[in-house]
Amino acid sequence: MDRERLVDETLMLLPTLMRLVERPSPVETGEISRRGVATDVQVSPGHIQVLIALTRGPHSVGQLAEELDVSPPAATQLVDKLAEHGMVDRHNDPEDRRVVLVDYVDGMHEVARRIVEDRRRPLEDAMSKMTDREALAFVKGLRLLAESFAAEDE
CATH of the domain at 126: 1.10.10.10
- 20: closest CA among 123, 130, 112, 136? 123
| pLDDT value for 83 | 92
Domain count across the chain: 1
| pLDDT value for 22 | 65
| pLDDT value for 129 | 96
Q: Does residue 27 surpass a pLDDT of 70?
A: no
Q: Does residue 31 surpass a pLDDT of 70?
A: no
Q: Is the dihedral of CA 54, 86, 19, 150 positive or negative?
A: negative
Summarize pLDDT for 71-92 with one digit per residue, the tens: 999 999 999 999 988 889 999 9
Rounded to two decimals, the pTM is 0.67
